[in-house]
Amino acid sequence: MTLAHKALAVHLLTATGAVFAMLAMLAAVDEKWSLMFLWLVVAFFVDGIDGPLARKYDVKTNAPIFDGVLLDLIIDYLTYVFVPAYALFKSGLLPGWTGWVAIIVITFASAMYFADSRMKTKDYSFSGFPGCWNQVVLVLFALSPSFWVILALVAVLAIAMFLPIKFVHPTRTARWRNMTLPMALAWTFFAGWAAWVDFHPESWAHWGLVITSVYLVGAGAMQQVIYGKDG
């Protein structure tokens, strides 16, 4: 297999995310939430490995006919934003008007964020909350907090998208990567486990989700506190 073929294969791998998004959406329409999240976890795993492969095989040079960044953003919007927002709306966690507020805020703010040219920092972290609503909604399904807590969290994270707060990228942010990458892998494992047991309230997966989520959400801001805003 030539380098060009390997680079093309990476684009094809990225594109499978669109298939997983559709499978997740079909499960969501049938309110099969565990199945939906399992497909989203698969898509999340693919999204985690296609970036390093794209850089390894230099897809911009060896398969330039496809724009890997654009392809990735399209699929990320589907799997990180659109499907999870629909699930949150239909799940019953947000009754009445609260569900409408949440999906409008999530989809609108995320569309603007994904088009923001300032979303990446010099150290390849994200500037602002990176629209990982798939992770947020999965944790909400697991913990089932009150709708006021959910609304407050949606509002805070939507605002945080446009604040100069760092959020680490598991594979690209070099600082603390030896901790961040295992945490991201652990989150993926606990997410799959929680979905597999249909979010059973006594599952230990919920504790794993909380611990790993707190780290992944707060690591970038902690780095700013320790090393400064440009650190």
Per-residue pLDDT of the chain (231 residues; tens, 9 = 90+): 798 899 999 999 999 999 999 999 999 999 999 999 999 999 999 988 988 899 999 999 998 899 989 999 999 999 999 999 999 999 999 999 999 999 999 999 999 999 988 888 888 899 999 999 999 999 999 999 999 999 999 999 999 999 999 999 988 888 999 999 999 999 999 999 999 999 988 889 999 999 999 999 999 889 888 887 665
DSSP code at position 127: E
Q: What is the pLDDT of residue 39?
A: 95
What's the number of CA atoms in the CB half-sphere (13 Å) around residue 5?
A: 2
* Cβ count within 10 A of residue 197: 16
Q: What is the pLDDT of residue 4?
A: 87
What is the torsional sign of CA 1, 11, 166, 136?
A: negative
* Distance of alpha carbon 8 from the chain centroid: 24
Residues 6+ apart with CB under 8 A from 115: none
115 within 8 A of 94, measured Cβ to Cβ = no
